[in-house]
Chain A
């Protein structure tokens, strides 16, 4: 049984890694097409993503970029693990950021409390956007995915309107809001890159979300509502409440993501604030296999590749920075293709294991009659073929050599 678990773990890890390697190979060809040696390019990406000099710390930039991304990733994981395929993180992020900036400049509060209030406002705004697809799905039977896509467009339009008209900084030359008060800003360790409390908050939420999903009743309920809703309802869980709760909490996380971007980095919201951080959070969640730590790691990888592509490839080597995001997109495509392939591989392996088990049992039992029974049909399910042949009391001839 131990071998079995190890083999499974190896498969689970090895195949996504293969997808990543494939993406890197294709990316290498694309770099080669631009006339640079791919090995140099990938070395430059790593170097410029993880290097740190006293003057400017690239890795700090990676962490600041990752902070809001980790939160939108967590938001996506929370919603998706409840079986609700909502891709509205972009809208939640946008409205969350806007709510945080309004609290940040319009309401005077003492330091510390002010930042917390701004983030809370972001969380509430994000939750309000996040809960709509769940309500549409549960009470109206509408497809939550579609609703969340439309909501993204709606929030984008509303945000653009608010930033251009009612919330526009008076006398401002471009469309952006007022700047948040000093009291509302997050503490910064490194002024050059704005690395500060933002990454601390993001990492704290990684732990909190893991505890919530894996160690709390609510988390268990929402996971069961997603993975086995019939079981969940039969055992008396209120799945509808669990799903709506998951949507609200997921939205709140993405909203906080917008919040820390605003009070930790930008200090104001511009028209075009929704730059894809929410969408990238969804992709990081997918790349991370919908697990909390995997998702957080994928978000870090995401920012490292993006920052490395800008600071390393574009500025130092002159290769267009889009190659970074292209490789990430290839990773998503390959990971999605690999999922059914893994399923087939596992099926094939379990078939082989079943056959080996049959052979072993046949060797153990001495009263094995000659193989008169017809070979079991080519069932994919190893357990059922095991059952069939043991019932016949004979080893299946075709399977013995396996």
Chain B
């Protein structure tokens, strides 16, 4: 029993919550885009943009607040590019693949041009301070879970809750309708293109703050591909949550804690950590299978024509021209 308690050290709880934060912010961005009917695969790019611009602003003498704001704006501009491309009818998947590669390479190129040829840029900046909540801090387990993180961690969880609440109100309902049936939403008088553009822009900003958490919030340095696939994990986490706002926190926690658990496992035992790390991905595959199967079944029950199997249906719903 002691060994188990020891294993779940306060350090592990802390690192679990910290690892969850960028994933959660990215997952919110991914779910928001999906709900607007756009498969947004450029989360990784937006996180990198946020990470780089955030640190750039911090190094340029801005406060941590302006750094995060700059990251948000840079991500929003990237999202705006996507929204514009979507309006033109660009294949957003190809566009996103290009954006991901562009963010990865351009950030390193600019870093090396601006700050010399080394692989890591470590400006002398102060990262965000941890917030210690007075009373809760002293409670054994809860204190570790709830206190001692920087403001972005709390912001991420607050954003997820706000996102859930948003869906209880009129604009959220409209967004839901757009994702389910853009044609019907347009017919009902909802400004589909405007909702989609706004969603993509906000999603870009939110994902970028997730990237800024890594540089401005935690490490205070920038290196090649420093998001390390967190954007892709975020997309996966949003899928595990079936894009439902209420499920985003648990899904992201699963990914974050499996990483923390794996790190802990590696340092305390000889057990291979791969099993723990694989678990959330396998869970997502199962969820995707079940969701897909049920959707096919439901369509059949409603008497809809069977989905053409093996057909050339692009994963992205053609919603670009709806309503315009």
A and B: interacting chains:
yes
Please give the residue numbers on chain A whose beta carbons come within 8 Å of chain B beta carbons, in ascending order. Answer: 30, 33-34, 83, 85, 87, 136-138, 140-147, 149-150, 152-154, 157-158, 160-161, 164-165, 225-230, 233, 239-240, 242-244, 279, 282-283, 286, 318-320, 322-323, 325-326, 328-333, 335-337, 339-341, 343
- Chain A residues, Cβ within 8 Å of B104: 325, 329
Bound together, the chains give a CA A256 to CA B313 distance in angstroms of 28
Other-chain contact of A153, B236, B291, B308, B311 (Cβ < 8 Å) = B236
9 contacts between A and B (CB under 8 A): A83-B313, A149-B232, A225-B312, A227-B312, A243-B310, A323-B109, A332-B98, A332-B102, A336-B98
Contact with A along B293-318 (1 / 0, CB 8 A): 10110000000000111111111000
Q: Does B125 make an interface contact (CB < 8 A)?
A: no
Stretch at the interface among B61-69, B83-91, B182-190, B193-201: B83-91
Q: Which residue, of A83, A143, A323, A336, has the highest number of chain B Cβ atoms within 10 A?
A: A336
Stretch at the interface among B127-135, B142-150, B171-179, B274-282: B274-282
Would you call B278 and A154 a contact (CB within 8 A)?
yes
Known A141-B292, A325-B105, A329-B102; contact A282-B308, beta-carbon cutoff 8 A: no
| Main SS class of interface, A | helix
Would you call A161 and B272 a contact (CB within 8 A)?
yes
- Chain A residues, Cβ within 8 Å of B93: 85, 145
Would you call B113 and A33 a contact (CB within 8 A)?
yes
Would you call A286 and B102 a contact (CB within 8 A)?
no
Known A136-B289, A153-B233; contact A34-B88, beta-carbon cutoff 8 A: no
Would you call B312 and A83 a contact (CB within 8 A)?
yes
Would you call A328 and B101 a contact (CB within 8 A)?
yes
Would you call A329 and B236 a contact (CB within 8 A)?
no
Q: How far is the CB of A88 from chain B (nearest CB, A)?
A: 13
Would you call B288 and A333 a contact (CB within 8 A)?
no
Would you call A343 and B113 a contact (CB within 8 A)?
no
Bound together, the chains give a CA A275 to CA B288 distance in angstroms of 27
Known A83-B311, A225-B310; contact A340-B105, beta-carbon cutoff 8 A: no
Kindly report which residue of chain B lies nearest to residue A327, judged by CB atoms: B105
Would you call A147 and B113 a contact (CB within 8 A)?
no
| Main SS class of interface, B | helix
Kindly report which residue of chain A lies nearest to residue B89, judged by CB atoms: A340
- Chain B residues, Cβ within 8 Å of A158: 274, 278
Q: Does B117 make an interface contact (CB < 8 A)?
A: yes
Bound together, the chains give a CA A150 to CA B233 distance in angstroms of 8
Q: How far is the CB of A13 from chain B (nearest CB, A)?
A: 19
Bound together, the chains give a CA A153 to CA B233 distance in angstroms of 9
Would you call A283 and B97 a contact (CB within 8 A)?
yes
- Chain B residues, Cβ within 8 Å of A34: 113
Would you call B88 and A337 a contact (CB within 8 A)?
yes
Inter-chain contact total with CB atoms closer than 8 Å:
167
Would you call B91 and A336 a contact (CB within 8 A)?
yes
- Chain A residues, Cβ within 8 Å of B77: none
Q: Does B153 make an interface contact (CB < 8 A)?
A: no
Would you call A240 and B113 a contact (CB within 8 A)?
no
Would you call B285 and A147 a contact (CB within 8 A)?
yes
Bound together, the chains give a CA A331 to CA B101 distance in angstroms of 11
Kindly report which residue of chain B lies nearest to residue A332, judged by CB atoms: B98
Bound together, the chains give a CA A339 to CA B95 distance in angstroms of 11
Bound together, the chains give a CA A239 to CA B307 distance in angstroms of 13
Q: How far is the CB of B22 from chain A (nearest CB, A)?
A: 16
Q: Does B94 make an interface contact (CB < 8 A)?
A: yes
Q: Does B123 make an interface contact (CB < 8 A)?
A: no
Q: Does B226 make an interface contact (CB < 8 A)?
A: no
- Chain B residues, Cβ within 8 Å of A244: 310
Contact with A along B111-139 (1 / 0, CB 8 A): 01100010000000000000000000000
Kindly report which residue of chain B lies nearest to residue A325, judged by CB atoms: B105
Bound together, the chains give a CA A331 to CA B295 distance in angstroms of 37
Bound together, the chains give a CA A335 to CA B296 distance in angstroms of 34
Bound together, the chains give a CA A260 to CA B245 distance in angstroms of 45
Would you call B293 and A320 a contact (CB within 8 A)?
no
Would you call A157 and B312 a contact (CB within 8 A)?
no
- Chain B residues, Cβ within 8 Å of A336: 85, 90-91, 94-95, 98
Known A143-B315, A146-B315, A153-B233; contact A160-B85, beta-carbon cutoff 8 A: no
- Chain A residues, Cβ within 8 Å of B112: 320, 322
**Which 8 interchain pairs have the tightest Cβ spacing?**
A83-B312, A332-B98, A142-B292, A161-B274, A229-B311, A329-B102, A329-B101, A333-B98
Q: Does B53 make an interface contact (CB < 8 A)?
A: no
Would you call A154 and B315 a contact (CB within 8 A)?
no
- Chain B residues, Cβ within 8 Å of A320: 108-109, 112-113, 117
Other-chain contact of A229, B284, B308, B314 (Cβ < 8 Å) = B308
- Chain A residues, Cβ within 8 Å of B88: 337, 340-341
- Chain A residues, Cβ within 8 Å of B94: 286, 332, 335-336
Would you call B272 and A157 a contact (CB within 8 A)?
no
- Chain A residues, Cβ within 8 Å of B89: 340, 343
Beyond A83-B313, A320-B113, 8 additional contacts (C-beta under 8 Å) are A136-B285, A136-B288, A141-B295, A144-B315, A229-B311, A318-B117, A332-B94, A343-B89
Q: Does B235 make an interface contact (CB < 8 A)?
A: yes
